[in-house]
Amino acid sequence: MMHPHVKIISFMVVLGLIVSGFLVGMDLLTRDRIERNQAYRLQAAILAANDYDFTIGNFAEVFEANIDTIETDEITFYVDQDSGNISFVIEGGGVWGPITAVMTLEPDFRTIVAMRVLSQEETPGLGGVVAEADYLAKYVGVILDPETGINITHNPTGADNEVDAITGGTRTSASFEWMINQRYQTAKQVWEDRGGDDE
């Protein structure tokens, strides 16, 4: 007769082995797909900003064929081979949680081609408007000021770098403006230092 402690320990060891074996198998089966899916949101946003047709089945290939990824220490640029449009990720704190977005600029590094919010946790209906396509469409064509960047305001004066603030989302607008400008300055610095256009 086995000692009860030995029985318990050997039972747990056997259970542990079976369970880990099962999980390793699951991981092998799904790992590639999960990696692919995690890249999807970012790559899809960049492809959409550059007007490419793609599906969830072929986005990785389309991205690979058309977009150059330039990695630097501080920031990763995604450059469209045809138009030269430059995309990069902007992120920062909103009112309730982090906001992540992708901004795409024309090769002059000033005109906004598209703005897409990847994730946010703002108040639905107020600050949450920041992620809505209708609102983000207002950013298209805005020309950033090299010094002050973008100006998100409730009282537009008609300047090129102005965008309407979110009604009822003053604080989200302010955070969004801050993170765009912060990130824009960094990106501009890095981009100019490495001599503008790629290679």
Partner 1 sequence: MARPNFMESGDGFMNETTAPVHINTPTEKKLWLWTGFLGVLLLAAVVIFGPYVLFIALTSYVVALIIEWAFAKSRGMKIDRAWMITPMIITLMLPPIIPLWIAGVATGFGVFFGKAIFGGHGRTVFNPALVGVLFVLISFPSQLNTQWFEPKDHGPLMPSTENIGHPDFDVENDAVSSPALLRIPGNYTTGDFLLGRTAGAVGETFMIGIITLGIGLMLLKVFDWRVPLALLGTMVVLTLIMNLVGTGYPSPVTSLLVGSATFAAFFVAPDPVTSPIKSWGKVVYGIGAGILIFLIRYEAAAVDGVVFGLIIMNAITPLIDSWFNASSAETKTSDETKEAT
Partner 2 sequence: MIKLIRMKYTKWYNIMREGLSRNNPILIAVLGICSALAITNRVDNAIAMGIGVTFVIIASSATVSLIRQFIPGRVRMVTYMAIISTFVIAVQMFMEGFLPDIAEELGPYVGLIITNCIVMGRAEAFASKNPVKYTVIDGLANGLGYLFVLVSIAVVREALAFGTILDMRVMPSTWVNWTVMAIAPGGFFILGLYIWIMRSMTKNYETQG
In eight-state DSSP terms, residue 67 is E
Q: Is 24 in the site for partner 2 (CB under 8 A)?
A: no
- Residue closer to partner 1, measured from CB, 57 or 158: 158
CA–CA distances in Å: residue 132 to residues 31, 37, 129, 145: 32, 22, 5, 24
Q: Which does 4 bind (CB under 5 to 8 A by kind): partner 2, partner 1, none?
A: partner 2
Torsion of the alpha carbons at 63, 106, 103 and 57, rounded to the nearest 10 = -20
The residue from 13, 24, 37, 64 that contacts partner 2 (CB under 8 A) is 37
Q: Taking a C-beta distance cutoff of 8 angstroms, is the pair 150, 144 a contact?
A: yes
Is residue 65 involved in binding partner 2 (CB under 8 A)?
Answer: no
Query: In the complex, what is the shortest distance from the CB of residue 154 to partner 1, in angstroms, rounded to a whole number?
Result: 6
Which residues contact partner 1 (rule: CB under 8 A)?
Answer: 95-96, 122-127, 154, 167-168, 170-172
By CB under 8 A, is residue 22 in contact with partner 2? yes
